[in-house]
Amino acid sequence: MPVTQLKNYAEGKWVAAKSGDTLHNAVTGEAIYTASSEGLDFGAMMDYARRVGGPALRKLTFHQRGRMLKALAFHLMEKKEYFYQISAMTGATRADSWVDIEGGIGNLFANASLRRQFPDERFYVDGDAAKLSKNGTFIGHHIMVPREGVAIHINAFNFPVWGMLEKIAVNLLAGVPAIVKPATLTSFLTEVVFEEIIKSNILPEGSLQLICGSARGILDHIQTEDVVTFTGSASTGQQLKSHPRIVSEAVPFNLEADSLNCCVLGPDVKTGSAEFDIFIKEVVREITTKAGQKCTAVRRIMVPANMVEDVQIALGKRLQSSTIGNPATEGVRMGPLAGISQRNEVREKVQELAKSQSIVIGDLEKFEVVGADKEKGAFMSPIVFFNSDPFKNTDCHNIEAFGPVSTIMPYNSIDDAIELARMGKGSLVCSIITADDDVAKEFVLGAATMHGRILVLNADCAKESTGHGSPMPLLVHGGPGRAGGGEEMGGKRGVLHYLHRVAIQGSPTTISRITNVYQQGGKQNETVVHPFRQYFEDLKVGDTLITAKHTVSETDITNFANVSGDNFYAHMDATSLEGTIFTGRVAHGYFVLSKAAGLFVDAKKGPVLLNYGIDEARFTKPVYPGMTIGVKLTVKERVDQEKRDAEDIAKGIVKWLVDVYDETGETVAIATILTMVKKKNQD
């Protein structure tokens, strides 16, 4: 194929340089693209993101931004087969590409779903209010707003699609624009996906920009509200993290570095057991997937000393059956590395490791390749070392060969396994395969501080497990020490990294107005029309119904016990109360809430469709026979809901503060109930 110049996307237009670095097909060695950032003004790009992209995204609510991500995910899924074709030139098999392409699109879907954990607002209310005064007239709270800067994502070569999509999904949901800088080596795959993103016209202009060539100097233009993320080698990441502008502007910098991840065979596992087979399959998959070019790949294999021979034999058999070659050839299980330069670097690391340990599986020179020329492509055999004394020969804990390379090492006790795992000085992930939950607990608690994620595998979960090497959008990804000390993804946690938290103080009424969430003690608007007779659009935060009252009797308590079957002694036996906090038979807490519902519910058919649930119920004071209770029902928060289809009823969720009080005015029970309320406008 002819050599094509990759384009950059800057300030709303595509920009191509006249020359640049040559990129090659990893399978054939053929020159296929050139990449350069010549002609780009990084400062102008960042200004454009802040001036155009940021305001456009911040005008949208979390729900609108989430639906935007969902639409983008569907659009990219329609184009995935084209992406697979391009991905093959990076050396990826279909299975490898699935992780990168559909795994990346899956991140868009997952983050789109997170919108339901945020309000349909442009800001997020964080946590609970803090009472700052004796009488409750002065309170504090926290809100989080989108940072008014730009996210700069400097990504690694191994996942050109996933690396981009998992990061932009989070900053876009948060309302922050981004500039994406993929590693130049495989940027041609990032470019074709990015081009489809722009063609879709789903994102506001200025939301995303792309640099395929060098981005050297871009950090000279960062400002306080920007965010920088980096995935790659620890040494490069540390250099970037110490950039003078990062330091002087106090810019958040998330570093995800390659690490020496480990997989541990539990001391309870025997040859021939289900867990033994799971272990072998997991390790082989981690060595061969993406030809071992994963920041989460297993680099250290920890095995009970009496199991080393069995593990070595089983691994050897499985790896020998893993055909190496052209990903387009049927039966190929492992493709080449991403490029000749990458292969040469891995070979150098293998030679370094060979000084202190022995190769027991594989050979740098003697291996077969199917459907391709071994010399022209970036092919390499899986290499497994054996280190007989990993506490003494420590190169395996310090040198990483970023390819299909790993080291078997023995241990004598679970404490030894924990110590060996920790000798990697911080990793993104480790795993332990064990059928003994006590072993699992001891290992997890002992190894936890030096790992970002720990996978515990056994026969119960292996079939549905996503595996050692797969970070999940709803779990944090990152790790301490060598792994960079960063954290990304993690569901809602990931989105919060792109928001600024600010403490606000004032009266409950003022804080209610700012947050659109009613704060206890704020002014209440007693409505003439029963709130259950009002449509979703008509209800306002602070609208309150003050109900009639009811005097609780012993008959109430007895009848509720008969209906519910709850005959707890405090409700039914006044002679058993000595030594308790109660002075007499006490009403069931659930009776109090049930009676409260009886007081505030309007029975006639109206806009309220159903009771959606109850949150944060507390019984704060005993209710005895003879006490009189009433209810203040207040609109606490309104949450819009999108229609699933044209036939769905337009509706929203209303959160109500239920304050049950006695004749002294003191609260005896408090809860938040949720109702589904129909909208007046059904369009």
Catalytic residues: 256, 295
Contact between 501 and 142 under an 8 Å Cβ cutoff? The reply is yes
Query: Angle, nearest 10°, between helix axes 308-320 and 274-288?
Result: 50
Query: What spatial distance separates the first Cα and last Cα of the chain, rounded to whole Å?
Result: 52
- 10 Å CB burial of residue 424 (0-12, 13-18, 19+) is buried
Which pair of tokens denotes residue 567? 């005959």
The contacts of residue 104 (CB under 8 Å, 6+ apart) are 159, 161, 162, 163, 164, 165, 166, 193
550-579 burial, b at 16+ Cβ within 10 Å, e below that, comes to bebeeebbeebbeeeeeeeebbeeeeeeee
- Give the H or E element holding residue 286: helix 274-288
The contacts of residue 5 (CB under 8 Å, 6+ apart) are 16, 17, 18, 19, 20, 33, 34, 35, 36
Beta-ladder partners of 446? none
For residues 602 and 608, what is the distance between their CA atoms, to the nearest angstrom?
Answer: 9
Say which DSSP state 305 is in: G
Q: Is 669 helix (H, G, I), strand (E, B) or coil?
A: strand
Sheet holding 298-304, edge to edge: 358-361, 383-386, 405-411, 298-304, 261-265, 430-433, 454-457
For residues 291 and 334, what is the distance between their CA atoms, to the nearest angstrom?
Answer: 6
| Alpha-carbon distance values, 445 to 125, 422, 458, 461, 476 (Å) | 33, 12, 18, 20, 18
The contacts of residue 444 (CB under 8 Å, 6+ apart) are 432, 454, 456
Q: How many CB atoms lie within 10 A of CB 471?
A: 24
For residues 101 and 73, what is the distance between their CA atoms, to the nearest angstrom?
Answer: 11
- Give the H or E element holding residue 228: strand 227-232
